[in-house]
Structure 1
Amino acid sequence: MAKYGGFVESADHPEPARRALPDDGSATPTVGLSTSAVFPDSTGSAFQLAAQLGYDGIELMVGTDAASADLDQVRQLRDEYQVPVLSVHAPCLMFTPRVWGTDPGEKLRRSCEAALLLGSDLVVVHPPFAWQRSYASTFTETVYELSERTGIIIAVENMYPWRAPGLIAQAYAPDWDPTDQPYEWLTLDLSHAATAGARSLSYLDDWGPRLRHLHLTDGSGSVLDEHLLPGEGNQRSWEVVETLLRRGYQGHIIHEVNTRRAATADERAQLLADCLDQTRRHISAAVQAGRSEGQ
């Protein structure tokens, strides 16, 4: 297998698919790489790999390493590799309890400030944990006010119940499923949908234009949040992409996937190169299908 652009070219597709641009000048989704997709490698490695593979940008997962929470370093990486930061994921995970302080509302505010500083238009945030009662009681208002003040889209992400043998725990308030909550904008994570036993295609119908951001990944329905590569699980990932495109989706598509199976940096690069190639081909197919239907 020959090498190009710092990674191994696919035997099936010797030339990488480029971003699909419709003839009518309308926009298509940007395809970005989450910095978490290279974990345990560094945020800098994610920028370097995104540049090599030709991603449209990065989603910054704040808290995976020290650099991700240092906005001066992130700006340097953005400028060095000429890879824009499309979106910022607030540090609201179990493993980021002290990143940017311990107040979850302050973390969200700082995430919006980071998005403004870095030139991003969107912040991803999880619903509050059930034990964050004060934050949860004003979460909807906080999201609305911050978005109004900053102009940043704050897209609340679907989560899942925590499950163990004989136990199902409601870990999020008021719910892990944002469908019936009054949030203006939502992020769909396909791995989370699989872990919840939900169907991503149903979320597309239920959410309509509220869906502003996609974590394109997959899951098998395990109690674990697997973040498989698209097409490896039960969420019909490529059908999700093509359905969104047919409905005029113009948000970001982010590869928030687990690549820890890769034994080497080249193997990880190949996994992500193939993932990016397939994603752009399905975008292209949907664009072409839409053009044919319009004739």
Structure 2
Amino acid sequence: MLKKILKITGVLFLFLFIGAYWAFVSFTSPNSDEKVLQDFTASRIKPILSIEKFKNFEYRKLTLQKDTVLPTLVFVHGTIGSCLDFSSYMKDSLLQTKVNMISYDRVGYNFEDKNNVQENIAFERDLLEDLVSNLKPEKTILVGYSYGGPITLATKKRFKKIILLAPAVYSKVEPMPWALNLYNWKLTRWLVPSIWQQASKEKLSHKADLENFESDWKSNPNKIVSIHGTGDWIVPYSNSEFLEKQFPAQQFELITIKDASHALVWTNFEFIKEQLLTHID
């Protein structure tokens, strides 16, 4: 009887594990073009999805343009992430009346992407600068979330403003989660979904890459706003405190959300939306 119970329990556990793994892979994998556009079915203004090229790479871009006179928010996602990370903002009816918006998949995170992540902040910065090259700098606001923070901060070009959301900019406080070992160990790497393998590679190289930039963040010529939660353990709040010490008060503003986690882009949507509306003027 005991053997029978253990056997049934083992089978149930196996099916639950397979189901949970399948759901995890499906939920975190990049969406097809059709599914991306479906996300905006109820939106009053529909974005244009395009495939752009930078050097030998292709990437997917969502553009929501209402009026060329309006400023443009350019969103840069983190690790792991996609252009849909900011869909709530791009679908918001009030924001749609105030700004144009662009979001894109970084190389390695596109749907069925044949390329690996580049593990290089300089490459990501250059792609971003190429992406916005046709926009008026004085009307362009860069919004970098998590790993997207150092990408926007690495530019030396002038823009209307840079808004950082929980930016990962300081190597000494970069946490390395135990789950990265699943990618590091060859015996378990096959268990890691392909998109998470890309994220793991980028995470593992991020700390060393930051050391090439973090002593020179202060040379960024733009006005910078950093919004960060004190409950963030994925990208600790001390990242933004580190930045605050590098800039004069008139150039840098730190906005603190008490107890907010690294998911603040979603969990604190209304607050961040209000901040975006405040800083587009």
Scaled by the length of structure 1, the TM-score of the pair is 0.33
Higher relative contact order (CA 8 A, sep 6+): 1
Scaled by the length of structure 2, the TM-score of the pair is 0.34
Question: Rg bigger for which structure?
Answer: 2
